[in-house]
Structure 1
């Protein structure tokens, strides 16, 4: 599943980021790395952007970026 598929208030763990592009590098530079736990805070009505909380700060991602992030639900 991808970050885009997640629901509000769900907690997920990053499994990886698809591709080898400047977008992937940018996401890693922002702290979205393997095994990082992310909390989904808000999702805009049309799914763009998605507001997340990770590593003590908030971040907004476009849906195209969120679709590249593979995650699993944290119990």
Structure 2
């Protein structure tokens, strides 16, 4: 995984289009990596944040490919992004 990737899905602007670069699950929850892959967060897939809850900013509503999910901020922080696709 390249070290220069700093943008995560948790940090992405609402509506900006990105691609998944990889996953970096926390050491306390390594099972998040395989789980996120199973639901479609694999390298190269298009992804965008559709909305965030008003209070606290979670959950995030995200679109990956043709699927829509609600993720907690901690889960979204595991998803590394490639640059804006705009």
**TM-score normalized with structure 1 length:** 0.90
Q: Which runs of 5+ in 2 are unaligned?
A: 1-6
Q: In structure 1, which of residues 32, 39, 51 is the aligned counterpart of residue 48 of structure 2?
A: 39
Are 1:53 and 2:59 counterparts?
Answer: no
For 1:13, what is the secondary structure of its paired residue?
Answer: strand
Q: TM-score, normalised by structure 2?
A: 0.80
The equivalent of 2:80 in structure 1 is 70
Larger radius of gyration: 2
1 or 2, which has the higher strand percentage? Answer: 1
Does the alignment pair 1:29 with 2:38? yes
CA RMSD of aligned residues (A): 1.3
Q: Displacement of 1:63 after TM fit?
A: 0.3
* Number of residue equivalences: 75
Residue segments in structure 1 that go unaligned for 5+ positions in a row: none
